[in-house]
A and B are shown apart, each in its own frame.
Chain A
Amino acid sequence: DQQVKQNSPSLSVQEGRISILNCDYTNSMFDYFLWYKKYPAEGPTFLISISSIKDKNEDGRFTVFLNKSAKHLSLHIVPSQPGDSAVYFCAASLGEGAQKLVFGQGTRLTINP
């Protein structure tokens, strides 16, 4: 029972364009969401997060959007750069004080020159 789903296993985007990665969740009790980035042979690194009291959070080239009614969030990367090529994981938790993260399956993003 996958509570956090990333339905696109892979995505290919041209350098300089916008990358949009999507994530859906089923548990309405989740109220804090995170994105992690993972390069091969390395552990995931935290990228950006959003609380359910917001619908948007921005950090440089990265913006996360949250649509609670649709139980959907997305990560926008603008402009995309070759170094953004990695696997991106969406994760959810039951609030900022919660200990456990539930991860999606991941989306492999490839930025083409």
Chain B
Amino acid sequence: DVKVTQSSRYLVKRTGEKVFLECVQDMDHENMFWYRQDPGLGLRLIYFSYDVKMKEKGDIPEGYSVSREKKERFSLILESASTNQTSMYLCASSLGLPEAFFGQGTRLTVV
């Protein structure tokens, strides 16, 4: 089974802090994604990466950056956390097919 693991299930951070969300997949997938899920808005794509050191902006990249130094790891960075970034963050990976495999999610609260 494909496993996508997010480093934290729950995080509480202060406004202005730099926040790192880590994601690791064990199936050698080229593509990795970061989404956020908010009530009434569904899942919205923040950034995705189709290869090591390659990244593309999704639909809502403002306030975020990403890093992919190794194929299996994709990090989402909130440079200066704000309360409107309180959300559920979901990492996913795929082999190039639309079917993506998701991690369990990180519930981030910015206070």
Contact = CB atoms under 8 A, between A and B. Distances in A.
B104 A41 contact: yes
Interface residues of A, number: 27
Nearest to A104: B42
A89 B42 contact: yes
B30 to A, nearest CB: 9
How extensive is the interface on chain B, given as a class?
20 to 34
Interface string A1-37: 0001010010000000000000000000000101010
B96 A99 contact: yes
Contacts, number: 62
B53 to A, nearest CB: 16
B64 interface: no
A46 B101 contact: yes
B48 interface: yes
Interface in A70-112: 89, 91, 93, 96-106
Contacts of B35: 103
Contacts of A60: none
A103 B104 contact: no
Nearest to A93: B98
A9 B40 contact: yes
B58 interface: yes
B94 A99 contact: yes
